[in-house]
Structure 1
Amino acid sequence: MNQSFYNGIAGTKSHQSGIDIWGNNIANVNTVGYKANTPEFSTIFSQALVDGGGATSDEIGFGSQLHSTAIDMSQGTVQQSDNPLDLAIQGDGWFGVSGMNNRQFFTRSGLFSTNAEGYITDGQGNFLLGTSANNIGTMVDPEDPNKQIAVLNESVTSVNLSSPEAQGKLQLPARMYYPPEPSTVAEFKANLPVDYLPGQRYNVRAGLIAPDGTKHTLTVTFTKSAQQPALGSAWEYRAYIDDEAAPYSEVTGTLEFDEQGGLRTVPATFTIDNYGQPVEVTLGTSRYDGLVSIAGADIATSANADGFPEGYLNGYRIDQEANIVASFNNGRLSAIGKVAVFHFQNDQGLEKAGSNIYMSSPNSGAPTFFTDEEGNTVLGAQVINNALENSNVDLTTALTELIVMQKAFDANAKSITTSDQMIQKAINMKK
């Protein structure tokens, strides 16, 4: 009878824990990034009733207890959002956030925004961790000399994560300036008309960017020469910057084409001064890859030059490799940082610090990064921008388990009452 008391008490305690765990899962069914918990039970002690001679034995338990709470690491559904800083991890991994006293936590919730200082934070004010590209400086604001503005010092396409312990806070400037990139090369392609008479002109133009960011026009005028060779054709060219009558700079020369219409002398190049920046102009590097003069050929005229005007920040996005990419109104893009995705040898060893936030422990091991065979850091998962991972709680399963736990709790409570009644009857019989 005493044993039935102990079994009943242990059962009520165990199933009360189960009720709490499944009830908490249900309460967090709409919590972003929440991972469901599953209670796991074990027996306390066992007593042998019949010795089977070493081969078998009959045992009776002394109740159960909550042994551990497992984390369900299955993927939650991914839902699109309107916030460009919302992130979802498709696959294995955790975001890292830094709280008070630089204490590090880990979460699957990608519900992020920026605070007043431009740092990326979660809903509790914890700072998102990652690696900065260190390519942002400051300068006097071109639009307001009394203020400072962030300036992009170097454009990069991707950022490589530093070591896990070196991850820091990620800051996004609200305003950022992209300095102009002056033009250094220009390339022209065209089919100069074979049927033009001497003196007739053919123009091609390309836009150039000066070192101060201003836009200018490079025009190359081709004039069919008065003196033509016996085979092929000859053209004179004049290249000038901006005004035809009073150009900033100009270059002249002569081109000859053979009887097939290809350039006789290659490469055909020259250099022109674009307001202090030399620009190398290419008219052809082989007989047919630049200017030609071929009768009846359908060859489109093209003029290309590098360089970009100055620009200002349009906004941010985060690509699948977790690079934070800044876009500018001059059409340029640059990565300025990378969001870290941490991994653990044993995810089940993480200690819960909130509904969707965890801490590392000796059982989980230290946070690490995945690397490829060459030692380069890889995410090991896909990061989805403008999206959130929903809770992975299956509401049907959670409600069913809650009912099972409640019924088991009631049965154990009833066993305590029954044991008490049996003891009372035994006492009365002795009297």
Structure 2
Amino acid sequence: MNSSFYNSISGIVNNQFSMDVVANDIANVNTTGYKSSTAEISSLFSSVLSSTTASTNDLGMGASSQTTALNMAQGSLETTDRTFDLALEDEGWFGVLGADGSTYYTRAGSFSLDANSNLVDTNGNYLLVTLGNNVTTTTLDEETLEGFGTVDTTLQAYSITQLDDVALGEVGDQTSVTLPELLYYPAVATTEASYAANLDPTVTVDTVNLDLDAADYPATVTASSSQTVTLSGTVSNTTAALDPQEGDTIILTLTDADGLSQTVNATLDENLEWTLSDYDVSGLNTTSDLTVSSAVLQTSQEVANEEHFTMTVIGSDGDKDILDMTFTKVVPQGEEGTTWNAVVNIYSYYEDYDSTKTYDTSLYYVDESTNKVYEIVDTQTGALTFNSDGSLASNTIPTLDNGGTTLTLDLGETDSFDGMISSTSIDKTNIADYNGSLEGYLTGYGVDENGNIIASFSNGESSAIAKIAVYHFQNDQGLTQVSSTLFSESANSGDAIFYTDADGNTTSGTAIATSTLEASNVDLATALTELIIVQKAFSASSKGITASDEMLQNAINMKQ
């Protein structure tokens, strides 16, 4: 009968243990990232009563509390308005560095910046990350500091090198991260620029005036005594004349020794020759020979089309410069395609136009439409040749010198239509693209779904600065609970590991939700039900003691 006392006592003790576990879960129903527990109770050894039958009878010796089992089910995700409230959308753990130098693991992702701009949790533990090592100290002048709203040159400033993603590395390579307030994105000069457009090859015919070759007209002419002149010539040596025709006009300017001039006209005959006979020049000083100061052929022929494009590039000083491109079609146009001569300039703003100054055109370009003067950084020439279908056949434009930085101009792949084309039947939108960036000032930090801590800047650029480590374990339930939300690894959990992708690169293995917290996974309805059950079991165990006491008393009374 004594065993019934001890069995009931063990029931009271173990139900009290279960009560503590359930009560702790209920107390943490609103604790971020909390994982509920289940009390595990096991039966103690039992004695075996012998029997003449084949069966045996076990006499239990009570129960014993063994341990608590963690419920690793994910809690609901709740949106917040804080950037560094983070939640893991699948299994895994954030790592934090405690004040004692030990690493702990948690699902509670409520992080913020402390007074030293370190990313910490609510207990002051440092969030563990892999650094991108792309932030260095720098010195900024007052003009640059004004972009941050300060002129205090004693403040420590930092500069960043652009980085799209931080490799997670190996377990153990992680450390805390400091997110500086004065983070500067230096200007980056353009090294690559591309342009796509259609150079319209439509044949255009117009009336043009072409200077005659010197061999096609006399240099001087002697007037007769009647003050008339006779002279003749041809256009056979004038290569600029593509298709001279009978009836085209020759315009001559005769100049005398006194500087007076007279214009006379002649007409091409069927042999493309011209003659001017007994033309009255009495208005000129004919005492000496007259000079043919100008001889022009006026004819109709194909004229060169010209296309002009501009785009922005970033100069070596960080300012926006202009990449100016002029394409002039070579005439006459060939039957198998077209060729366009190109002149490409890089212009950097110098000053507003000053009419009192004389600008060297070899060094400066004056834009009369805007009254602005630009320094000519570099000029290069070349040619684009196109196939009969309009695709690019060749490009001889060399690289440009962007103030000490080599700039490659991409106008498309050969035998393709991805860049410049020359077609009358294809519509193509002008598309410009370039790399490089203006200087930028930090506007804020954020976290992407891959765990990269991203710094954003006023120039529209952004860069990863570190990656938040997400740790995994072979047996999550084997972790040792240090506090309501902190755990440490144990022999039962195994060492922390990182997952790897198909290429063998370490990866977080789960997405990270920003401005989101994982709520406690305690099911309050279940916990309250368990509370009632434990309470009833506790009461029943206590009844077992009183009942055993009464039975023992009755047995004693029977002997009296």
SS in 2 for 1:70: strand
Which structure 2 residues correspond to residues 28-39 of structure 1 after superposition, within 5 A? 28-39=28-39
TM-aligned CA distance change 1:43 to 1:223, over 3 Å: same
Distance in 2, Cα, partners of 1:98 & 1:35: 20
- Show the counterpart of 1:216: 321
Partners of 2:113 and 2:119 within 8 A in 1: yes
Counterpart residue type for residue 324 of structure 1: I
Partners of 2:392 and 2:413 within 8 A in 1: no
Distance in 1, Cα, partners of 2:175 & 2:532: 45
Partners of 2:383 and 2:396 within 8 A in 1: no
TM-aligned CA distance change 1:189 to 1:367, over 3 Å: closer
Partners of 2:201 and 2:305 within 8 A in 1: no
The number of residues matched between the two structures is: 427
TM-aligned CA distance change 1:288 to 1:73, over 3 Å: closer
Please, which moves more after superposition, 232-241 or 297-306? 232-241
**2:126 counterpart of 1:132:** no
Q: Quote the offset at 1:374 in angstroms.
A: 5.1
- Show the counterpart of 1:280: 408
TM-aligned CA distance change 1:69 to 1:296, over 3 Å: same
**2:534 counterpart of 1:405:** yes
- Show the counterpart of 1:166: 173
Identical positions, percent: 41
Q: Quote the offset at 1:35 in angstroms.
A: 0.8
Partners of 2:444 and 2:457 within 8 A in 1: yes
User: Which among 362, 367, 388 is matched to residue 496 of structure 2?
Assistant: 367
Distance in 2, Cα, partners of 1:336 & 1:366: 27
Partners of 1:191 and 1:292 within 8 A in 2: yes
- Show the counterpart of 1:9: 9
Partners of 1:140 and 1:147 within 8 A in 2: no
SS in 2 for 1:101: coil
Q: For each residue in 1:33-82, what CA deviation from the matched residue of structure 2 results, as whole angstroms up to 9, or x when unmatched? A: 111100111122312234366x5311121211111210011121122222
**2:104 counterpart of 1:105:** yes
TM-aligned CA distance change 1:367 to 1:146, over 3 Å: same
Unaligned stretches of 5+ in structure 2?
Answer: 146-150, 206-302, 348-363, 367-373
Partners of 2:85 and 2:514 within 8 A in 1: yes
- Show the counterpart of 1:150: 158
Counterpart residue type for residue 203 of structure 1: H
- Show the counterpart of 2:271: none
TM-aligned CA distance change 1:274 to 1:77, over 3 Å: same
Counterpart residue type for residue 5 of structure 1: F
Q: Quote the offset at 1:369 in angstroms.
A: 2.2
- Show the counterpart of 2:229: none
Counterpart residue type for residue 341 of structure 1: V
Q: TM-score normalised to the size of structure 1?
A: 0.91
Counterpart residue type for residue 338 of structure 1: K
Partners of 1:180 and 1:308 within 8 A in 2: yes
Distance in 1, Cα, partners of 2:168 & 2:420: 46
Q: Quote the offset at 1:387 in angstroms.
A: 1.6
**2:335 counterpart of 1:207:** no
Distance in 2, Cα, partners of 1:361 & 1:256: 71
Q: For each residue in 1:403-425, what CA deviation from the matched residue of structure 2 results, as whole angstroms up to 9, or x when unmatched? A: 00001101111221222233334
Counterpart residue type for residue 160 of structure 2: L
Q: Quote the offset at 1:182 in angstroms.
A: 0.7
Q: For each residue in 1:158-195, what CA deviation from the matched residue of structure 2 results, as whole angstroms up to 9, or x when unmatched? A: 22223323321122222311122211122222222334
Unaligned stretches of 5+ in structure 1?
Answer: none
Which structure 2 residues correspond to residues 258-337 of structure 1 after superposition, within 5 A? 260-263=389-392, 266-289=394-417, 290-337=419-466
**2:67 counterpart of 1:48:** no
Partners of 2:437 and 2:459 within 8 A in 1: yes
Partners of 2:385 and 2:395 within 8 A in 1: no
Partners of 1:50 and 1:59 within 8 A in 2: no
TM-aligned CA distance change 1:65 to 1:182, over 3 Å: same
Q: Quote the offset at 1:288 in angstroms.
A: 4.8
Counterpart residue type for residue 175 of structure 1: L
- Show the counterpart of 1:25: 25
Q: Quote the offset at 1:335 in angstroms.
A: 1.8
- Show the counterpart of 2:88: 89
- Show the counterpart of 2:473: 344
Q: TM-score normalised to the size of structure 2?
A: 0.71
